[in-house]
Amino acid sequence: MPGTELFGSEERKEINDVLETGMLFRYNHDQQRNGIWKAREFEAEVRQLTGAKYVHAVCNGTAAIATALAASGIGAGDEVIVPPFTFIASVEAVLFLGAIPIFAEIDETLCLSAEGIEKAITPKTKGVCLVHMCGGMADMDAIMKVVNDYNLVLVEDAGQAFAASYKGTATGLFGTAGSYSFDFFKIATAGEGGIFVTNDEEVYKIADAYADHGHNHEGNNRGMEQHPVLGFNYRISELHAAVGLAQTRKVPQIREANRKHKKMLVDILSQTEGISFARLADPDGDSATFLNLLLPDTDTAKRTVAELNKSGVGGFNYWYTNMYHFVNQWDHLKQMRTAAALPVQKFGSSQDYAAMELPKSQEVVGRLISFGIRCTWTEEEVTALANNIAKCAQAAMMVNA
């Protein structure tokens, strides 16, 4: 979790600015706030880093996905194609807007594939909630072709891919709207926080109102202005925005260190037979928050994880652990155990969640072993890690021979 590694005087300074005024609310109160607008500054910083035309900060990444879906016009009864490999938040956002998730296959990019999306399309399909996983990016040229051919709405959950890009465009900016997460485990953290992005002014205006009970914030007169749409409370506080602002400024530096460390790891591990890597649709756009190994088969991956655990090397496989990022851990969804009925239970779904089979996704996730990359590692630590991983993988592969 690189952002937290660099937590320091910069974050404290931004927080103190807010504490000195006592104005923790992001709107109005011009006199008391004395020129301190951290949410606005946070948004400006993200705008600069990503190149997004419109940026709106919200209280967490899940709220940012929900806002992106809603502002893109996805709602009750709409089928939305989602990946089976993502943090559950992406699926929750679809479900709790009343839409119907339809799971499609991922590929070695660890993201939905164009082929997977195309096969999952039905007459009810309204859109795709694409998730850029493990610091990398989906294969956007191929995906945009399917999205355009079938006239689908594309929303991108780039919760794990802030600072990643594809052919020069930041993840999150290919579709109608996108989202980033600033929770504690991401490349930059606000403690809790999320970012909504779009290049479409109308979509932005809806999102801005939607995330604050429908207030349109015109005329810096919140509470007394117009209410174009019904909304909800997804506001970020000035304290969280202050942290997110300081952290966003550090992202280029974090990304550079991550990339250097990842290159060292890849250079060493490429020499071990049987180890390959998740496919980066654009290697130059990697945020390099994770090293993502693919072992030859799921049994070898399982044995490698056991060796890694035995040697205390770290690393995790999303299939054999309870990481909650793969559909095999989502029994509540398969059995529709809900606190209260969701629209999906009334509308029905064209996919049987308990019986669906996603062999390609299972094969890829079963072979995957990921390692979080730290930006503060020394070169000695990186080299030692690579050698230890190689040893464990070799021990696991000996059994095959």
Ligand X SMILES: *Cc1c(COP(=O)(O)O)cnc(C)c1O
Q: State in angstroms the smallest separation of the CB of 131 from ligand X.
A: 5
Residues 6+ apart with CB under 8 A from 328: 319, 362
Contact flag: residue 89 with ligand X (CB under 6 A) = yes
Nearest to ligand X of 90, 216 (CB atom):
90
Binding pattern for the stretch 191-210 against ligand X, x by CB under 6 A and - elsewhere: ---x----------------
Q: Which stretch binds ligand X (CB under 6 A): 34-42, 86-94, 141-149, 275-283?
A: 86-94
For the bound state, the minimum distance from the C-beta of residue 158 to ligand X, rounded and expressed in Å, comes to 8
**Backbone torsions φ then ψ of 292, nearest 5 degrees:** -120, 100
Q: How far is the CB of 325 from ligand X (least distance, A)?
A: 8
> In terms of CB distance, is 139 or 183 closer to ligand X?
183
Q: Which two tokens stand for residue 391?
A: 């040893």
- Please state the separation of Cα 13 from the chain's center in Å: 28
Is the CB of residue 148 less than 8 Å from the CB of residue 157?
Answer: no
What's the token pair of residue 110?
């660890």
- Segment near ligand X (CB under 6 A); pick from 56-64, 277-285, 305-313, 350-358: 56-64
Stretch of 54-62, 169-177, 212-220, 333-341 lying at the interface with ligand X (CB under 6 A): 54-62
User: Which residues are CB-neighbours of 54 under 8 A, at least 6 positions away?
Assistant: 47, 197, 198, 199, 200, 201, 203, 204, 207
* Closest distance of CB 181 from ligand X, Å: 3
In the sheet with 290-294, reading across from the earlier edge strand, the strands are 276-277, 290-294, 368-372
Q: Which stretch binds ligand X (CB under 6 A): 45-53, 60-68, 136-144, 380-388?
A: 60-68
**Helix ranges (DSSP H) in 22-60:** 30-33, 38-50
Using CB under 6 A as the binding rule, whether residue 135 contacts ligand X is answered as no
What is the Cα–Cα distance from 100 to 102, expressed in whole angstroms? 6
Q: What's the closest the beta carbon of residue 89 comes to ligand X, in angstroms? A: 4
156 binds ligand X (CB under 6 A): no
d(CA 381, CA 395): 21
Decide: is 112 part of the binding site for ligand X (CB under 6 A): no
Q: Which is nearer to ligand X, 72 or 181 (CB)?
A: 181
- Dihedral in degrees, nearest 10, Cα atoms 94, 97, 102, 106: -10
- Which of 109, 113, 125, 181 touches ligand X (CB under 6 A)? 181
> Which residue has tokens 């919760």?
159
Single out the residue of 107, 157, 307, 363 in contact with ligand X (rule: CB under 6 A).
157
Of 64 and 382, nearer to ligand X (C-beta) is 64
Residue 60 lies near ligand X (rule: CB under 6 A): yes
Q: How far is the CB of 61 from ligand X (least distance, A)?
A: 3
In the complex, minimum distance from the CB of residue 92 to ligand X, in angstroms, rounded to a whole number: 9
Identify the sign of the CA torsion 258, 264, 268, 271: positive
Closest distance of CB 297 from ligand X, Å = 26
Q: What is the size of the binding site for ligand X (CB under 6 A)?
A: 14
Is 61 one of the binding residues for ligand X (CB under 6 A)? yes
| CA–CA dist 225, 227 (Å, integer) | 7
Q: Which of 175, 83, 100, 120 is nearest to 364 (CA)?
A: 83
Cα–Cα distance, 154 to 81 (Å, whole number): 10
Residue 370 C-beta: closest distance to ligand X, Å: 12
Nearer residue to ligand X within complex by CB, 176 or 289: 289
Q: Burial of 214 by CB count in 10 Å (0-12 exposed, 13-18 middle, 19+ buried)?
A: middle
C-alpha pair distances (Å), 98 with each of 17, 73, 160, 330: 40, 12, 24, 18
Task: Check residue 370 for interaction with ligand X (CB under 6 A).
Answer: no
Report the first-to-last Cα separation within the chain, whole angstroms: 37
- Measured from the CB atom, the residue of 319 and 386 that comes closer to ligand X is 319
| Residue 3 within binding range of ligand X, rule CB under 6 A | no
For position 90 contacting ligand X by CB under 6 A, the verdict is yes
Which residue carries 């991922």 as its tokens? Answer: 106
| Contacts with ligand X, residue ranges (CB under 6 A) | 60-62, 86-87, 89-90, 131, 157, 159-160, 181, 183, 194
